[in-house]
Chains A and B, each alone.
Chain A
Amino acid sequence: MEKIRKIWNETWHFYKRTLILVATGSKLYYAWCFSLLAIIIAGFLFYMRQHDVGLIATNMNDQVSWGLYIANFTYLVGAAAAAVLLVVPSYVYHFKPIKEIVVLGELFAASSVMMAVLFVMVDLGRLDRFWHMLPFIGSMNFPESLLAWDVIALNGYLLLNIFIPVYLLVKFYYRKKPNWKFILPFILLSVPWAVGIHTVTAFLYNGLPARPFWNASILAPRFLASAFCSGPSIIILIFQIIRKVSDVKLEDEALFKVAELIAYAMFLNLFLLGSEFFKEYYSHTVHMAPVEYLFQGLHGHNLLVPWIWAAMTMNVIAFIIFLIPQTRKRLTTLNLGCIFIIIGVWIEKGPGFVIPGFVPDPLGEIFEYIPNLLELMVSFGIWALGLLVFTLLMKVAIPIETGEFTHTEFQKELITSRSH
């Protein structure tokens, strides 16, 4: 009993201190957080309208029944998977950088998965009936429905990526050594689980014979290849920001190594894309209509064509930047390449993947979908929420990692050591 009370007091004390920690910062920090908050509130208000009226407030219809929300979901699952996949092996193989990256990478993965889950939630027509999806309480269609697998995989991944960082951070907070024998299996588990979440997401598109654009065996490998490009690119940018605003030491070498891995992943991505191109254009069956719609336009409908070509250009340029050591090892070109990949893969994997699956629809109809203002605002709101959550997590995690923010008994030590 006494122990529980002690833990409760400790947790509450810790929580109060984190609140102070996140509430104090530079002007830039405040500006960042409040602008994100403004976007989040705007997005939420727009979502309330959608919840009220129904999904007719979006631009989706019976012909194109999944749109911007599911496009973002697909991209974010990829980003989440890649974050862990990159970070954990770097740690496990004792590759410089050190263990800081594990925690930050996993927290990034957690924020990413949270965003992905939110995107699914806003896409559901009847969110109030979500409990129907829970196993045992509701009636989850496991193992037949891939969406059921996805729910389990994503929530499990989220739990893993909250549990591991929390465990490590609490240990650091108390200046205790983590029990690696206990935590390492979980860290190792998150690697195949990361592959799993993105494979399951790919499979949920893959298993639909009604949509020949998605019903291709190449889908899961392509998803993983493009995830390996986008996730690490975001991480490179984030780590540079972290390096600037805190005391965490991250060497350039680490960033360059990551960029090299991205180059290989992008090569694979481009190769797989080339394979798809060959199959569609050489066989030239009726089923190439979605690819034609995407890259050339179909019967005068060509809304996505400039987007996908922009994405392809960005991807190829980024590939070259990351391949050539001179451009890879210069921070300006490196960052440019990262931005190109983030946007290029988003276009390719988001709208450039989801929408052509519905064009033409199974009865041959073509509807050009563009997201409307409501969908855009809700999407921005969720992205802003993810960024805010990640920012707040970093605001707490980094000081713990660097030893600045620690239990009060050690805090006095810190202050006295500083004053000398």
Chain B
Amino acid sequence: MKKKIKAIALGIFLMGFCFTSSANGAAEEFPVAPPPMTEGMFPCSSCHASMETNRKKRELKEEHTQIKLHHAETMRWCLDCHDIKNRDKLRLYNGELIKFTESYKLCGECHGPQYGDWRAGIHGKRTGYFMGSGKRTYFLCAHCHDPHEPKFKPIKPEPPPFPPTDRKHGN
């Protein structure tokens, strides 16, 4: 009987511990939109769990060939950000693993000022409600900046207004 109570108490204590640690994560969590992954890619472990690992920095020839790395590619390569053992997670500099929905932490390691501005809401994009309890959505860094090729591509602008001499359409 005593053993049972001890086990239950230990269980509750351990559960509490889990909750507090995830509570720390929950306080940090921003209401982000789902990360912009290619359809069917996630979870990455569905392929990678059974594959061998190769730490050699190289150009990938068999899979992920559409990804061209143009992001500090002289200094880093895939496995500097993607964890080698768990491909469903990203890897911070100190080895800590983070979810894809927290990828801003990884970007923020190098891009500190932008990260601070993003947390305050003045970098990047937010939609929805900014006051009260309505739904709000914060966009991840990856939503605007493709992490492999972050530079914005030029886009086609919307048409200009009709010039005022255009009496046909009126202005």
Contacts and interface: CB of A to CB of B under 8 A. Distances in A.
Interface of A: 56, 61-63, 365, 367
Contacts of A63: 164
A63 B164 CA distance: 8
A56 B171 CA distance: 8
Interface string B128-171: 00000000000000000000000000000000000011000011
B160 to A, nearest CB: 12
A367 B165 contact: yes
Contacts of A56: 170
Given A62-B164, A367-B165, 6 more contacts: A61-B164, A61-B171, A62-B171, A63-B164, A365-B164, A367-B164
Nearest to B161: A62
9 contacts: A56-B170, A61-B164, A61-B171, A62-B164, A62-B171, A63-B164, A365-B164, A367-B164, A367-B165
Most chain B CB neighbours (cut-off 10 Å) among A56, A61, A365: A61
A86 to B, nearest CB: 42
Contacts of A367: 164-165
Contacts of B165: 367
Nearest to B166: A61
B163 to A, nearest CB: 9
Contacts of B164: 61-63, 365, 367
A55 to B, nearest CB: 11
B164 to A, nearest CB: 5
Q: Give the top 7 A-B pairs by smallest Cβ distance, nearest first.
A: A367-B164, A61-B164, A61-B171, A63-B164, A56-B170, A62-B171, A367-B165
A71 to B, nearest CB: 19
A166 to B, nearest CB: 47
B171 to A, nearest CB: 5
Chain B interface mostly helix, strand, loop or mixed? Answer: loop
A414 to B, nearest CB: 61
Interface string B67-108: 000000000000000000000000000000000000000000
A117 B104 CA distance: 65
A254 B150 CA distance: 85
A347 B164 CA distance: 24
Contacts of B170: 56
Nearest to A361: B164
A63 B170 CA distance: 12
A367 B165 CA distance: 8
A56 B170 CA distance: 8
A365 B165 CA distance: 12
Q: Which of B164, B165, B170, B171 has the most CB of A within 10 A?
A: B164
A56 B165 CA distance: 13
A61 B163 CA distance: 11
Contacts of A365: 164
Contacts of A61: 164, 171
A63 B171 CA distance: 9
Nearest to A56: B170
Interface string B12-35: 000000000000000000000000
A166 B165 CA distance: 49
A61 B170 CA distance: 9
Contacts of B171: 61-62
Nearest to A365: B164
A269 to B, nearest CB: 33
A61 B171 CA distance: 6
B52 to A, nearest CB: 63
A62 B164 CA distance: 8
A61 to B, nearest CB: 5
Contacts of A62: 164, 171
Nearest to A367: B164
A353 to B, nearest CB: 21
A62 B171 CA distance: 7
Nearest to A368: B165
Nearest to A62: B171
A75 B171 CA distance: 28
B162 to A, nearest CB: 10
B119 to A, nearest CB: 35
A125 to B, nearest CB: 15
Interface in B107-139: none
Nearest to B171: A61
A56 B166 CA distance: 12
A62 B170 CA distance: 11
Nearest to A372: B167
Nearest to A366: B164
Nearest to A63: B164
A282 B165 CA distance: 33
A63 B165 CA distance: 11
Nearest to B167: A59
A367 B171 CA distance: 11
Nearest to B165: A367
A119 to B, nearest CB: 23
A392 B80 CA distance: 96
Nearest to B163: A367
A365 B161 CA distance: 13
B113 to A, nearest CB: 33
A365 B164 CA distance: 10
B9 to A, nearest CB: 73
A39 to B, nearest CB: 26
